[in-house]
Amino acid sequence: LKVLIPKEMGAETRVAGSPDTVRALAKRQLLCVVEKGAGTASGFSDEQYSAAGAELASPQDSAVWAEANLLLTVGPLQLEQPKLSAGALVVGQLAPHGNENLLQLLQGQKLSAISLELLPRISRAQSMDVLSSQANIAGYKAVLLAAAALDRYMPMLMTAAGTVQPAKVLVIGAGVAGLQAVATARRLGAVVKVSDVRPAAREQVESLGARFIEPPVQGVPGEQGGYAKEATAAFLEAQRQGLAEQLTDIDMVICTAQVPGRPAPLLLTKEITELLRPGAVVVDLAVAQGGNCELSQVGENINHKGVLVIGADRLPATVPHHASSLYARNVAALLEVVISKTGELNLDPEDPLLDPCLVSLAGALRRTDLVPNWK
Ligand code: NAD
């Protein structure tokens, strides 16, 4: 099988294969073709890929794409990319929710596709979980960004000039990104409070030395596959009131609350955000899903009455070396499942690991439910 690792499009700095994973795939008799410069932004040189056993190709070479059996990507497929041949498999974060273009492309070119965002959260898939490996980075970097922008220290300090109180941080959402934000803020010496709606989050939050804010009692949203379900409007209103009471002495808010395939819960309205003191910093990691903060805008830093609101949608790409290394390992772990010992593609839709994330099998669409009104 020929595995193509392209140079990603646009501003993406990550790459779906590292020299280490290329070496591992080469041992399994797979030929990796890496587009020149694909790893440069992640600190992987063309020479390192060659030394690991890869062939190098010019970016976007249609002959190379037509010969590939497997395309490993970070970002979604783009219409302007060269065509793959019928039956080829695409593995990547394909952003399938509401993505009509993706389904048309997969059907039109008769491709198979695994969308890594849809991997089930079962123990067998843990090593392949790109959402976790990338969200961990986002949570870590969000706190560093906010700390760098903050007008005060994070830790408590006792100095000859007097005592400095530790910064007070609120983390909204205690999933993978949120828990890493808690851990990072704690390491920097901050006092941390956390809001989540899943009861399981309490113990995780407390084990990191943070305080769990009780959600409203009535109408707590259920869970499905480890994820929170969407909350009702009444529950969110009650939750907003509870959070508003917590905000007056908060220096930093890290927003990570999300519900898969749905808009992120709006928890910091404009009025509630205005309760923060001037100089406070909000980092909204849910901004691409509409945001937890009404004021956040994708990719923008907005100063609202002295409160800095950072709409941070691409933080993993700002730590490209480790983001790519971990992503590449996740992908390589998945390939252990989809490539047989004899080196053939083996896409079993009955496999509970593949069933939810195999969006298309040789052009036969399996997840049209993700695109409302798909005809
Ligand atoms: P996510 O990005 O979908 O959501 C982030 C967090 O937001 C979740 O903790 C969710 O409960 C929370 N949230 C949703 N609505 C909220 C609201 N109104 N207020 C406050 N918080 C709200 O989730 P994620 O981080 O990808 O993962 C969620 C959980 O899944 C993890 O914490 C973990 O327990 C589990 N998980 C399991 C595995 C596995 O078993 N393989 C792997 C990764 C994660």
pTM value > 0.90: yes
Q: Which residue has the tokens 């390939």?
A: 335
Residues 91-106, mean pLDDT to the nearest whole number: 94
Nearest Cα residue to atom 7 of ligand 1? 257
166, pLDDT greater than 90: yes
Give the pLDDT confidence score for residue 339 in this predicted structure: 95
Mean pLDDT in residue range 72-90: 95
Among 14, 109, 112, 129, which one carries the catalytic annotation? 129
Q: Which atom of ligand 1 is nearest to the CA of 195?
A: 20
Is the pLDDT confidence value at 375 over 90?
Answer: no
| Each residue's pLDDT tens digit, 326-360 | 999 999 999 999 999 888 999 999 999 999 999 99
Q: For tokens 């994330």, name the residue.
A: 357
Rounded to 5°, the CA angle 16-18-22 comes to 100
126 a catalytic residue: yes
The per-residue pLDDT of the chain, averaged, comes to 96
The whole-angstrom separation of Cα 63 and Cα 82 is 9
Ligand 1 near 126 CB (within 6 A): yes
Can you tell me the ipTM of this complex? 0.95
DSSP string over 69-95: SEEE-SSPP-TTSPPPPTT-EEEE---
The pLDDT tens digits of the residues spanning 211-224 come to 999 999 999 999 88
Q: Which of 18, 42, 115, 132 is catalytic?
A: 132
Is the separation of the CB atoms in 352 and 122 below 8 Å?
Answer: yes
Rounded to an integer, the average pLDDT of 44-73 is 98
Bridging pattern class, strands 358-361 and 364-365: antiparallel
Calculate how far, in angstroms, residue 88's C-alpha sits from the geometric centre of ligand 1. Answer: 32
For residue 208, what pLDDT is reported?
98
Q: Is the CB of 257 under 6 A from ligand 1?
A: yes
Distance CA 308, CA 301 (A): 7
Closest Cα to atom 2 of ligand 1: 258
What residue's CA is closest to ligand 1, atom 11? 228
